[in-house]
Amino acid sequence: MEKTLSFTDTSSQTVKIGDTTTSFTLVCGNDNEAVDLTHATSITVKFGNSSGYLKSATVDPSRLTEPTNGEITVGLNADLMKSLPAGGCYIEVWVVDSTGTSIYPSDGSTGFTITNNIQSTTGETITTIAFDEFKEAMDKAASTIAKGDPGEGLDIKGQVTSVSALPTTANEGDGYLVNEELYVYTSGAWKDCGPIQGPQGIQGKTGTGISSTTIQYQISNSATTSPTGTWSNSIVATTITNPYLWMKATLNYTDGTTKDFYLVSQKGDKGDKGDTGSVDNAGLTKAPAFVELKTQVDNSAVGINLALGTSNQVVQANVWNMQVADIKYDKSLGEHLCASVMINNADHASDLLRGSASIRMDAFDKSGKNLATVWGENVNYNANGLSQCSINIDDNTTDVKVAIFTNAMVQNTFYSCLKIERGTKATPWCPNPTEILTQSDYAKIKAAIVALGGALS
């Protein structure tokens, strides 16, 4: 598929030197079918002439008015114009997107023309000379010519700025320069004899431009001799054996010839070992992965009774504010503990408690100072119910104590199912795991019974 580049029907293809208001509108295509430039990440318009590359201008892809039609508009501003001489010029468009770089057109370049303005001095036009110099040259030439019969010769009198400034009367053969035009007085009138300018020279040969550029890479063990192996279109990682990375830039010219340029770089030495890093403990413990792991560990411990010696049988607390559990705080347990107990007053009508009862948790630091006290739900003297509370423990806490508390003068409270566990919500009572008969214990008991001649199914 051939890439093409053409001017739109309404686009100018000629501009004068110094004109900074003209713009070119180009269409990028594949086989003259417009391409979609919606996904272009950069667009560069490159200018050149027969001598080679001259100047580049960038076009913002987001500002294209017709990207789906392949249209690109480039303005010839002052910066461009001062770099572009008069004559035939060439234009290429380089478009970069996620697939790579596309250069329009594939074959040759698209041409346009830059012409001289009225003040230009570029080209083959004879530059303006002072009147005295011109007259001296003409007099010198006349002195070499043999005298003939007196005639009506040319006598250039001077220079004026416009035709209206010419004298109204003059002698036959008098001449004046009006800008670059020579006016001669003959037969009683001024005659325009044309500009003082030589004929246009022969058109030069068409110049050779760059049609495309190819960049390739290869590694080598030499920094002075270019490698002869296979070149890669992608950068190749250097190795200890081949520490030099060579880059070959191939310029493809419009006349079918090519020229290679080489650059070489070397793999650097291994740097010094860096300083020992420090651990951001606060950042580590707040990292999402750590928080997720901690949550899994916390959830795995929920429901385990941390208190020893508890029972699901009804117990009577005869001492007011009697302590029923003392847990040594272990930092690995987490930040929250939950305590729950079943108040059973209604089951003992003959020993009713006047008032209510509830559970209480206290947290103490290493010196024995009470850091926090949390109360559970009140249960009335004539009712049964669950009293529960949760306490937040910091790093200084060493003890968590749980007690039954009553708010009446008769300190008889019946309770059961004391449980201290991880979390903030009570779960059904269960004994401490160390108080449960394990399969290993059962196997030992069964073996002893069998040894005594008994049986245990």
Domain extent listing, the chain? 3-115, 154-198, 210-266, 302-435
Count H helices, E strands: the chain? Answer: 5, 26
Find, among 387, 430, 426, 425, the residue nearest to 405 by Cα.
387
Query: Is the pLDDT confidence value at 123 over 70?
Result: no
How far is Cα 36 from Cα 59, in angstroms, rounded to an integer? 15
Find, among 362, 358, 340, 360, the residue nearest to 427 by Cα.
340
How far is Cα 160 from Cα 285, in angstroms, rounded to an integer? 93
How far is Cα 191 from Cα 193, in angstroms, rounded to an integer? 6
Question: What one-character DSSP code corresponds to residue 354?
Answer: S
Question: What one-character DSSP code corresponds to residue 271?
Answer: P
Between residues 411 and 74, which one has the greater pLDDT?
A: 74
Query: How would residue 297 be classed by pLDDT, with cut points 50, 70 and 90?
Result: low
How far is Cα 182 from Cα 349, in angstroms, rounded to an integer? 140
How far is Cα 426 from Cα 383, in angstroms, rounded to an integer? 19
Overall average pLDDT of the 92-96 stretch: 94
Question: What is the per-residue pLDDT for 248?
Answer: 93
- Token reading at 453: 């001649």
Question: What is the per-residue pLDDT for 27?
Answer: 93
Q: How many CB atoms lie under 10 A from the CB of residue 443? A: 10
Query: Is the pLDDT confidence value at 137 over 70?
Result: no
Question: What is the per-residue pLDDT for 157?
Answer: 84
pLDDT in tens, 334-359: 567 888 888 877 766 555 445 677 88
Query: How would residue 222 be classed by pLDDT, with cut points 50, 70 and 90?
Result: very high
Task: Assign a CATH topology to domain 302-435.
Answer: Jelly Rolls (2.60.120)
Question: What one-character DSSP code corresponds to residue 229?
Answer: S
- Give φ, ψ of 380 to 5 degrees: -65, 160
Q: How many CB atoms lie under 10 A from the CB of residue 217? A: 15
Overall average pLDDT of the 112-138 stretch: 66
- Alpha helix stretches (DSSP H) within 9-84: 78-81
Whether 3-115 shares its CATH topology with 302-435 is answered: no
Query: How would residue 25 be classed by pLDDT, with cut points 50, 70 and 90?
Result: very high
Overall average pLDDT of the 174-198 stretch: 83
Question: What is the per-residue pLDDT for 360?
Answer: 82
Question: What is the per-residue pLDDT for 342?
Answer: 85
What kind and span of H or E run contains 246?
Answer: strand 244-253
Angle at 18 between CA 12 and CA 23, to 5 degrees: 30
- The torsion angle over the Cα atoms of residues 403, 406, 411 and 417, rounded to 10 degrees, is -50
Overall average pLDDT of the 2-27 stretch: 90
Q: How many CB atoms lie under 10 A from the CB of residue 209? A: 21
Instruction: Label residue 51 left, alpha or beta by phi (over 0 means left) and psi (-120 to 50 means alpha).
Output: alpha
Query: How would residue 312 be classed by pLDDT, with cut points 50, 70 and 90?
Result: low
Query: Is the pLDDT confidence value at 94 over 90?
Result: yes
Options 3.30.1050.10, 1.10.1660.10, 3.30.70.330, 2.60.40.10; CATH of 3-115: 2.60.40.10
How far is Cα 92 from Cα 59, in angstroms, rounded to an integer? 13
Burial class (CB in 10 A: 0-12, 13-18, 19+), 97: middle
The sign one gets for the Cα dihedral 142, 143, 144, 145 is positive
- Give φ, ψ of 51 to 5 degrees: -85, -10
Determine the distance from the C-alpha atom of residue 265 to the mean position of all C-alpha atoms in its chain, rounded to a whole number.
Answer: 27
Overall average pLDDT of the 225-247 stretch: 92
Question: What is the per-residue pLDDT for 148?
Answer: 53
Between residues 246 and 307, which one has the greater pLDDT?
A: 246
pLDDT in tens, 139-183: 776 666 655 555 557 888 888 888 888 998 888 889 888 877 888
Query: How would residue 408 be classed by pLDDT, with cut points 50, 70 and 90?
Result: low
Across 16-30, 364-378, 383-397, 398-412, least confident range: 398-412
Determine the distance from the C-alpha atom of residue 164 to the mean position of all C-alpha atoms in its chain, rounded to a whole number.
Answer: 68
How far is Cα 402 from Cα 376, in angstroms, rounded to an integer? 11
Query: How would residue 204 be classed by pLDDT, with cut points 50, 70 and 90?
Result: confident
Query: Is the pLDDT confidence value at 410 over 70?
Result: no
Radius of gyration of the chain (CA): 52
One-character DSSP codes across 161-203: SSGGGS-SS--TTEEEEETTEEEEEETTEEEEEEES-PPP-PP
Identify whether the C-beta of residue 121 lies closer than 8 Å to the C-beta of residue 180.
no
- Token reading at 373: 């006290």
In the chain, what percentage of residues exceed pLDDT 90?
21
Overall average pLDDT of the 21-43 stretch: 91
Please name the amino acid found at residue 342. M
Overall average pLDDT of the 74-102 stretch: 88
Query: How would residue 102 be classed by pLDDT, with cut points 50, 70 and 90?
Result: very high
One-character DSSP codes across 436-454: SPPHHHHHHHHHHHHHTT-
- Give φ, ψ of 189 to 5 degrees: -150, 160
Question: What is the per-residue pLDDT for 457?
Answer: 58
Overall average pLDDT of the 230-258 stretch: 91
- Token reading at 405: 């508390």
Identify whether the C-beta of residue 222 lies closer than 8 Å to the C-beta of residue 243.
no
Query: Is the pLDDT confidence value at 93 over 90?
Result: yes
Query: Is the pLDDT confidence value at 128 over 80?
Result: no
Query: How would residue 324 be classed by pLDDT, with cut points 50, 70 and 90?
Result: low
Q: Mean pLDDT, the chain, as a whole number?
A: 79
pLDDT in tens, 421-457: 877 788 888 888 777 766 676 677 777 767 777 676 5
Identify whether the C-beta of residue 186 lies closer than 8 Å to the C-beta of residue 172.
yes
